[in-house]
Amino acid sequence: MLGPRPVVAGPAVPVDGPLTAREAAGVVEAALGRITDDVLGRARDTDPVLAREVAGRVSALVRRGGKRLRAAFVWCGWRAAGGSGDPAAVVSTGAALELVQTCALIHDDVMDGSALRRGAPAVHVEFARMHRDARMTGPPEAFASAAAVLAGDLALAWADDLLTETALGSPYGIRLHREWQAMRAEMVAGQYRDIRAQATGASGLDEAVAIATLKSALYTVERPLALGAALGGADDATLEALRSAGRSAGLAFQLRDDLLSTFGDPALTGKPADDDLRTRRLTYLLAVGRGLADARGDAEAVEALAPGPGAVSHDGVRRMRAALERTGARAAVESEIAELAAAGLRHFDRAGAEPFVRREFASLVERASGVASDVTSARGTEKARDAASARGAEEAAACAR
């Protein structure tokens, strides 16, 4: 199946004007609508069953959600590098990232056994329901998992095709494609480290940080910034500053996501609030909680948070949440998020971007981390921790995966 050509004509707002990051994300949103229409048409030419049952579900998930943070960070990287060159390539790159995100969500939900995504049944849940409704033979769950893996693969193929065609049309195409290649490998490494940690019962903080960095921080912020900077012909110093900014801000995003996945409201986040605890996934939050429980001699918390086989019961999840609160793990992670968000802003300042772009980056970091920029300026203080806790969950909930 051929992939989509970069379709960016007729954006919702002028691409060559002084767009805000939100407006740039809106342009990508409009482009995604046209791109998915195009690939659905191509899928129908290939096979009507594929188009109806697989491509249609992928397209629906693409259209259903997200704040397009990755696309907005591409715009920030491009503007930080001077904003020269073809803005249509920036839009196409942002759209390709959103298609990769769709692949990651579909595959994550299969591996995690998550039933809900963006306020609707996860793709594998839809496939299981289709299997039952059609009275197909064999186990519905096995069919659903296999079909969802293929759906995620299709989203990745669309993303790769779009990025490749964008790179072929850019004078900076080689740099762009190298960033893309590295990002894909990092995503797979992070996902594998995640499932490996569950299988081995890993509980160390270093392992939790490695997983958070590879699985989320790099491809959520650092690589998008670098992809945009590549399209702008950034020099090495600018690129290094952006990478540092992206890694710090990306980790803040992932730590916020850990908190939302444990204490968040599914009505706001669009996903369950107990999957990480139910499966004992090694998150930074859980690693911190285990360390604090050991250090304080809290035997009840040590038992509740200990690695172990099998799924955790509803009562076990409740006890884990209580332990994370009682040991101070939740508050410690809130404080770390504020520190990381502030570090991201400091590193971004070194890139030499104009004030307007720095303000836009700060706004994006606030949305991703749930920490207001006035809080990051008071990082490490009680004010920072209290304000982050009070405003963080609701502010970042809509930005969750």
Q: Residue 383 has what pLDDT?
A: 43
User: Cα(102)–Cα(348) distance, rounded to whole angstroms?
Assistant: 28
CA of residue 374 relative to chain centroid, distance: 24
CB contact at 8 A, 230 and 179: yes
- Which segment of 43-52, 59-68, 271-280, 329-338 scores lowest on mean pLDDT? 271-280
The model's pLDDT over 217-239, given as tens digits with 9 standing for 90+, comes to 999 999 999 999 999 999 999 99
Q: How many C-beta neighbours within 10 Å does residue 129 have?
A: 13
The model's pLDDT over 261-276, given as tens digits with 9 standing for 90+, comes to 888 777 676 666 677 8
- The yes-or-no verdict on residue 253 having pLDDT over 60 is yes
- The yes-or-no verdict on residue 2 having pLDDT over 60 is no
| Closest listed residue to residue 61, CA positions, set 158, 195, 177 | 158
CB contact at 8 A, 272 and 401: no
Rounded to the nearest integer, the mean pLDDT of the chain is: 87
CB contact at 8 A, 392 and 253: no
CB contact at 8 A, 198 and 279: yes
Q: Residue 337 has what pLDDT?
A: 97
Q: Residue 272 has what pLDDT?
A: 66
Q: Residue 393 has what pLDDT?
A: 41
- The yes-or-no verdict on residue 359 having pLDDT over 70 is yes
Q: Residue 165 has what pLDDT?
A: 95
What does the chain come to in residues?
Answer: 401
Q: Decide which of 162 and 22 is more confident.
A: 162
CB contact at 8 A, 283 and 212: yes
The arithmetic mean of pLDDT across residues 313-332, rounded, is: 93
The arithmetic mean of pLDDT across residues 198-219, rounded, is: 91
Q: How confident is the model at residue 395 (pLDDT cuts 50, 70, 90)?
A: very low
Residue with tokens 């893996």: 149
Q: Residue 388 has what pLDDT?
A: 44
SS3 171: coil
The arithmetic mean of pLDDT across residues 100-106, rounded, is: 94
SS3 237: helix
Q: Residue 18 has what pLDDT?
A: 67
Distances from the Cα of 263 to the Cα of 24, 51, 55, 353, 354, angstroms: 31, 38, 33, 36, 37
User: Cα(332)–Cα(196) distance, rounded to whole angstroms?
Assistant: 26
The arithmetic mean of pLDDT across residues 75-84, rounded, is: 93
Q: Decide which of 390 and 289 is more confident.
A: 289
**Percent of residues, the chain, with pLDDT higher than 90:** 70
- The yes-or-no verdict on residue 317 having pLDDT over 50 is yes
- The yes-or-no verdict on residue 143 having pLDDT over 60 is yes
Global pTM value: 0.86
- The yes-or-no verdict on residue 31 having pLDDT over 70 is yes
Q: Residue 371 has what pLDDT?
A: 87
- The yes-or-no verdict on residue 378 having pLDDT over 60 is no
Q: Residue 43 has what pLDDT?
A: 94
- Where does 116-275 show beta strands of DSSP type E? 116-117, 120-121
- The yes-or-no verdict on residue 13 having pLDDT over 50 is no
Q: Residue 22 has what pLDDT?
A: 87
The arithmetic mean of pLDDT across residues 343-352, rounded, is: 96
The model's pLDDT over 164-204, given as tens digits with 9 standing for 90+, comes to 999 999 999 999 999 999 999 999 999 999 999 988 888 89
User: Cα(361)–Cα(355) distance, rounded to whole angstroms?
Assistant: 10
Element (H, E) at 25: helix 21-46
Q: How confident is the model at residue 396 (pLDDT cuts 50, 70, 90)?
A: very low
Q: Decide which of 14 and 116 is more confident.
A: 116
Annotate 385-398 with b (16+ C-beta within 10 A) or e (fewer). Answer: bebbbeebbebbbe
* Domains of the chain, CATH where assigned: 21-397 (1.10.600.10)
